[in-house]
Chains A and B, each alone.
Chain A
């Protein structure tokens, strides 16, 4: 099976779970003998790409004018076949990079500024990304198109138009997860169009599947649930055992945005500190709500027990997991949520919101409604107070996490491919 896959991020340059998930999925798929051409919108720095062939869309030449008229587009794409062409908007000549990412890697300039990646230009970026997809679709041979999230919907549909191959839309998050009821209508429209047009939809949880059915009116039979998993790496073992003994550390790790529920974490921290004054709370990550959250902590006079780390990545993430006694994911709406699985790899007990996809597959995590601050505080205190609880949770979690493998997810995805390709 050959797959043309459209993504938005890939490790180590990630700002959320999407890149992590794409890495795991492609790793699992390639182990099952699937050939994957993975297309990214742009590329800076070295990518972990041992198991996929990577193409970056900003290396694909294209004419800006091709946007409106399908016929004009086709003309433009034909144009692509020459080796040198002015890159849209820049005037610089670029070659099509088809042989992997090494060339792109060499021309890298540091890292992405991740906080900008999901910024206001995304709609434009996604549209531009979509236009290059047709060209790539023409150059590549593949059996199925697999796109991750709304940013790749244009690309997926465009690739289908050029190739006639079936298009699978893999939903990792929806606009309602990110924004609650105040959705961006244009993003919603792209999602709806993608869901309606796709030959099949993969959702990362039943939670998300239900949302696709209820909010977008999609036929349930068209949707297959494939839960995410977690990749193990050697660093986990090295970083273990960094816990301090004089106080307990409670961790929040994720974008500090509405979706992740950072405010509930702070409210709970205040309640916990009334009963366990020595506890320490850490909020790792960055996001649009961060200034307000810092202010709130200051106003509640918890500054001494509550720390913000800003955005962290790589080894820093591992170190912070290893030094934590409890991981809390109070997300308001979490289609899946890989971070609790990562925390479990470090023997850290986890509390997750019931409004998450990952809660469907975890038995040995504590679960709360995100809005129930009283219960969240109660459970945080319990983990900090009752060692037998921690012992049982971590022992059982170790068994449970061993069974959560990307291979299983990949097998389900392959069976979707088979079904769709007939």
Chain B
């Protein structure tokens, strides 16, 4: 009996204030609290609150046959607690239904898995504790930041006793294989791999309101029909940003109507049902091992790491940041550690991406900076300030 597995990513990065070279050593805060508050309030109004309301109604309406999963980053959970406790409450009510699985990821939405395994484990642990506290669940499914994945990561995560891990169903790793099965990462014995069906996921996340798309307008009926056409598959994994609903696709595109009608249309076919990731891996055995030695992710056409670490600015910034780990730990100061970790949020590096800059697309939409160069300059000024804090230096004497 094939299932539809929906997982929604909830995340808002901590945005930095405009930090010039002249702000270094002045004890200026890095984050723009005002902007962060405004953005969270806006996204809560447009997406989290209305979408959660609909999800709750749907779960009730379909008597628990509608089941979904969320991964909510630690940094956005903190913001919700501080700014929008009602949003947090609405997620808790969803947790109470027993139909919602909460996934585990790095607390700071970081790329620590690529740079420091110790740091990675600690951030995952922090996130696990927070999820348990807030939603009373012990996550058994892991999803890494931006679906960054390779064999080594799967092995690490298996050792951390997770039963499932998510990744992008990228063409270049799947080849002729289908993303609609459960796989086993190469070299693993227990953990199972779920792959995003990016065509069907992106039909909603990216193409839903695109009038140039031949399938526009997308109705739930049509979409369910595509799902029902799957033969020989075990699961269709629909992974996307939760902000798709109401924030990336605005309300007037009809996205909420689509969402309301979606479960009913899928369940019209008696062979289909909804399952959360952990339910899928519990019921299905892997059809094959999958060898993914190089990093993949769910970003851009390349589906690799180049959105965050693809140009000299990005690699410079991130290696300077992780190069500070020893010094940071030697401080044995929770505040300093937290500041360093908040600098790890992957979005900071995404803003420095020049790959698609000239073409103006999704990168520009998500970028609060006027250019990737501005993003890099701002970040490096902040890192210089943080570096001085670590070294206890009072004054900076220029580049020489």
Residues of B within 8 A of A392 (CB): 311-313, 354, 372-373, 376
Q: Which residue of B lies closest to A271 (CB)?
A: B22
A389 and B20: CB pair below 8 A?
A: no
Please encode chain B, from 378 to 400, with 1 for each CB lying within 8 Å of some chain A CB and 0 for all others.
00110000000000000010111
Residues of B within 8 A of A277 (CB): 398
Interchain residue pairs with CB less than 8 A apart (19): A276-B400, A277-B398, A366-B377, A374-B22, A377-B22, A378-B22, A381-B21, A385-B399, A386-B316, A386-B377, A388-B316, A388-B376, A389-B313, A389-B373, A389-B377, A391-B312, A392-B354, A392-B373, A393-B373
In Å, the complex CA distance between A215 and B22 comes to 38
B377 and A378: CB pair below 8 A?
A: yes
B21 and A377: CB pair below 8 A?
A: yes
Chain B's nearest CB lies how many Å from the CB of A326? Answer: 13
Residues of A within 8 A of B373 (CB): 364, 366, 389, 392-393
Residues of A within 8 A of B22 (CB): 271, 275, 374, 377-378
In Å, the complex CA distance between A30 and B266 comes to 64
Q: Which residues of A contact B (CB under 8 A)?
A: 271, 275-278, 363-364, 366-367, 374-375, 377-379, 381-382, 384-389, 391-393, 395-396, 400
Chain A's nearest CB lies how many Å from the CB of B331? Answer: 25
B358 and A385: CB pair below 8 A?
A: no
Q: Which residues of B contact A (CB under 8 A)?
A: 20-22, 311-313, 315-317, 354, 357-358, 370-374, 376-377, 380-381, 396, 398-400
Residues of A within 8 A of B400 (CB): 276, 278
B376 and A386: CB pair below 8 A?
A: yes
Chain A's nearest CB lies how many Å from the CB of B23? Answer: 9
Contacts A275-B396, A374-B22 given; indicate if A363 touches B358 (C-beta within 8 A): yes
A374 and B398: CB pair below 8 A?
A: no
Chain B's nearest CB lies how many Å from the CB of A11? Answer: 30
Contacts A275-B21, A377-B22, A386-B316 given; indicate if A366 touches B374 (C-beta within 8 A): yes
CB contact between A378 and one of B21, B316, B357, B398 (< 8 Å): that residue:
B21
In Å, the complex CA distance between A5 and B1 comes to 77
A389 and B376: CB pair below 8 A?
A: yes
In Å, the complex CA distance between A381 and B380 comes to 12
Residues of B within 8 A of A386 (CB): 313, 316, 376-377, 380
A384 and B399: CB pair below 8 A?
A: yes
In Å, the complex CA distance between A389 and B377 comes to 8
B358 and A400: CB pair below 8 A?
A: yes
Other A-B pairs, 16, CB within 8 Å; known A367-B371, A391-B312: A275-B21, A276-B400, A364-B354, A366-B373, A367-B370, A379-B377, A384-B399, A385-B399, A386-B316, A386-B377, A386-B380, A388-B317, A389-B380, A392-B372, A395-B312, A396-B354
Chain A's nearest CB lies how many Å from the CB of B96? Answer: 49
Q: Give the one of A271, A375, A389, A396 with max B CB within 10 A.
A: A389
Q: Which 6 A-B pairs have the closest CB atoms?
A: A388-B316, A378-B20, A385-B399, A382-B377, A388-B312, A276-B398
Q: Which residue of B lies closest to A248 (CB)?
A: B399
Q: Which residue of B lies closest to A378 (CB)?
A: B20
Chain A's nearest CB lies how many Å from the CB of B313? Answer: 5
Tell me if A's interface is mostly helix, strand, loop or mixed.
helix
In Å, the complex CA distance between A87 and B380 comes to 66
Q: Which residue of A lies closest to B319 (CB)?
A: A388
CB contact between A388 and one of B313, B374, B399 (< 8 Å): that residue:
B313
Contacts A275-B398, A392-B354 given; indicate if A382 touches B311 (C-beta within 8 A): no
Q: Which residue of A lies closest to B19 (CB)?
A: A378
In Å, the complex CA distance between A387 and B357 comes to 20
Q: Which residue of A lies closest to B373 (CB)?
A: A366
Contacts A366-B374, A377-B22, A393-B373 given; indicate if A382 touches B380 (C-beta within 8 A): yes
A276 and B399: CB pair below 8 A?
A: yes
In Å, the complex CA distance between A395 and B310 comes to 13
Q: Which residue of A lies closest to B317 (CB)?
A: A388
In Å, the complex CA distance between A367 and B369 comes to 12
A374 and B20: CB pair below 8 A?
A: yes
In Å, the complex CA distance between A396 and B315 comes to 16
Chain B's nearest CB lies how many Å from the CB of A328? Answer: 15
In Å, the complex CA distance between A277 and B313 comes to 25
In Å, the complex CA distance between A378 and B384 comes to 13
Q: Give the one of A388, A389, A396 with max B CB within 10 A.
A: A388
Residues of A within 8 A of B370 (CB): 367
Contacts A375-B20, A388-B316, A389-B377 given; indicate if A278 touches B311 (C-beta within 8 A): no
Residues of A within 8 A of B312 (CB): 388, 391-392, 395
In Å, the complex CA distance between A328 and B200 comes to 48
Residues of A within 8 A of B357 (CB): 363-364, 396
Residues of B within 8 A of A391 (CB): 312-313
Chain B's nearest CB lies how many Å from the CB of A351? Answer: 10
Chain B's nearest CB lies how many Å from the CB of A376? Answer: 10
Q: Which residue of B lies closest to A375 (CB)?
A: B20
CB contact between B398 and one of A366, A375, A385, A396 (< 8 Å): that residue:
A385
Q: Which residue of B lies closest to A383 (CB)?
A: B377
Chain A's nearest CB lies how many Å from the CB of B386? Answer: 15
Chain A's nearest CB lies how many Å from the CB of B71? Answer: 32
Residues of A within 8 A of B311 (CB): 392
In Å, the complex CA distance between A367 and B372 comes to 12
Chain B's nearest CB lies how many Å from the CB of A366? Answer: 6
Chain B's nearest CB lies how many Å from the CB of A261? Answer: 20
In Å, the complex CA distance between A310 and B22 comes to 32
In Å, the complex CA distance between A364 and B370 comes to 11
Residues of B within 8 A of A378 (CB): 20-22, 377, 381
In Å, the complex CA distance between A392 and B380 comes to 15
Chain B's nearest CB lies how many Å from the CB of A206? Answer: 16
Q: Give the one of B315, B377, B381 with max A CB within 10 A.
A: B377
In Å, the complex CA distance between A363 and B364 comes to 12
Residues of A within 8 A of B398 (CB): 275-278, 385
In Å, the complex CA distance between A92 and B370 comes to 61
Q: Give the one of B370, B371, B396 with max A CB within 10 A.
A: B371
In Å, the complex CA distance between A278 and B399 comes to 10
